[in-house]
C-alpha cells in the first residue's frame, strides 16, 4: 500500500473505536462508490514471527476480493473479504498510512496497473491455463525420450539376466528374478542340445541318488539285524544265569 508523501493539514485521519484508522478505496478513478479499509498497527505480545515484525506491520480489515498485491502487498487468492498484514520497510510508514485522510480514496485499478474482475478475469485465467503448441511439443518430446530410455534400460537388463541364466560347464543354472511378461528364448538346435545334455545329467544324478538310497537302506537293515542278534544273545545269557541262581538284577 503506497501512502502519500505528505500529510494534509485540512484532512485528518478518521479513527474509529478499536483504534482502527479508516482508509477509502475506489476501484477506478471514475467510480463513485467507495470502499472502506480499517487499519491499525499490528501489536501482539507473543508475536515472534519474522514475517510480521511488530514495529513495521500494519493490520488491515475489510479487504475486498479485487484488491491485488500492489494494493495490499498480499496475494488475493480467496473470494470474499479478507484480512491482510502489510509489512513496511520503515516503521515510520505505519504512521503515514494510518494518517491517510479518508476523503482521498486510493484508486485500485489504474491505467498503468489495471485490475481485471468478473468475466474479464475468468478469460484471462483461462488463457493462462492453455498450453502453447510449442511448449506442449517440448513436454511430449521430453516424455518420449524418458520412455525410450527406460525401455532400452529394461531390454538391456533382460539381456543380462538371460545371459546369467545360461548353463555353465557343470550344468548348473544361476536363477535370477525375471521380468513379468518376458518372452521365452527360441528353441534353436544349440538350445535343444543343451536341454538334452541337461536331461542326461539329471538322469545320472537320479541314478546315483537311488544307489545312495539303496545303500543307506541296506546299511540300516544290517544294523537292525546286528541289534537283534545281540539282543538274542543277551536273552540267552540271562536265562543261563537264572538257571544257575546267580542272576542279581540290582
Return the SS3 of 84: strand
pLDDT of residue 48: 67
Backbone angle region of 144, left / alpha / beta, with phi > 0 → left and psi within -120 to 50 → alpha? alpha
**Nearest partner of 86 among 100, 98, 102, judged by Cα:** 98
pLDDT of residue 247: 54
List beta partners, residue 82. Answer: 63
**Nearest partner of 182 among 154, 203, 163, judged by Cα:** 154
Give the residue with greater pLDDT, 62 vs 188: 62
Instruction: Give pLDDT tens digits for 119-143.
Output: 777 777 777 887 888 888 888 999 9
* H-helix segments, the chain: 69-72, 92-98, 118-129, 133-164, 189-243
Cα angle for residues 161, 190, 188 (degrees, 5° grid) = 80
Give the residue with greater pLDDT, 80 vs 40: 40
**Nearest partner of 40 among 66, 24, 58, 22, judged by Cα:** 58
Q: What value does the mean pLDDT of the chain take? A: 72
Return the SS3 of 100: coil
Return the SS3 of 202: helix
Please, are residues 103 and 24 in contact by the beta-carbon 8 Å criterion? yes
pLDDT value at 12 more than 50:
yes
Give the residue with greater pLDDT, 149 vs 165: 149
**Nearest partner of 65 among 84, 83, 46, 78, judged by Cα:** 78
Phi, psi of 16 (to 5 degrees): -105, 165
For residues 196 and 3, give the distance between their C-alpha atoms in angstroms, rounded to a whole number.
94
Please, are residues 77 and 47 in contact by the beta-carbon 8 Å criterion? no
pLDDT value at 77 more than 70:
no
Instruction: Give pLDDT tens digits for 171-184.
Output: 555 555 555 554 44
Residues 169-204: b if buried by 16+ CB within 10 A, e if exposed? eeeeeeeeeeeeeeeeeeeeeeeeeeeeeeeeeeee
Amino acid at each position: 500500500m503506497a501512502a502519500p508523501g505528505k500529510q494534509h493539514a485540512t484532512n485528518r485521519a478518521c479513527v474509529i473505536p478499536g483504534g482502527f484508522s479508516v482508509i477509502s478505496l475506489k476501484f477506478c478513478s471514475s467510480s463513485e462508490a467507495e470502499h472502506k479499509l480499517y487499519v491499525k498497527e499490528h501489536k501482539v505480545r507473543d508475536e515472534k514471527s519474522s514475517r510480521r515484525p511488530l514495529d513495521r506491520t500494519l493490520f488491515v480489515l475489510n479487504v475486498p476480493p479485487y484488491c491485488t498485491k500492489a494494493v495490499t502487498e498480499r496475494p488475493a487468492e480467496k473470494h470474499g473479504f479478507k484480512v491482510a498484514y502489510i509489512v513496511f520497510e520503515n516503521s515510520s510508514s505505519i504512521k503515514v498510512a494510518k494518517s491517510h485522510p479518508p476523503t482521498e480514496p486510493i484508486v485500485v485499478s489504474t491505467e498503468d496497473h489495471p485490475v481485471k474482475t468478473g468475466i474479464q478475469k475468468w478469460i484471462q485465467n483461462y488463457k493462462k491455463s492453455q498450453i502453447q503448441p510449442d511448449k506442449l511439443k517440448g513436454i511430449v518430446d521430453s516424455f518420449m525420450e524418458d520412455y525410450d530410455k527406460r525401455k532400452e534400460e529394461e531390454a538391456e537388463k533382460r539381456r543380462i539376466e538371460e545371459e546369467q541364466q545360461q548353463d555353465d560347464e557343470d550344468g548348473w543354472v544361476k536363477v535370477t528374478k525375471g521380468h513379468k511378461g518376458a518372452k521365452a528364448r527360441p528353441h534353436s538346435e544349440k538350445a535343444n542340445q543343451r536341454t538334452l545334455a541337461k536331461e542326461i545329467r539329471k538322469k545320472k544324478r537320479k541314478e546315483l541318488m537311488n544307489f545312495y538310497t539303496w545303500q543307506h537302506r541296506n546299511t540300516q537293515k544290517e544294523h537292525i539285524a546286528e541289534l537283534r542278534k545281540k539282543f538274542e544273545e543277551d536273552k540267552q545269557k540271562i536265562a543261563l544265569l537264572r538257571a544257575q541262581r546267580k542272576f542279581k538284577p540290582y
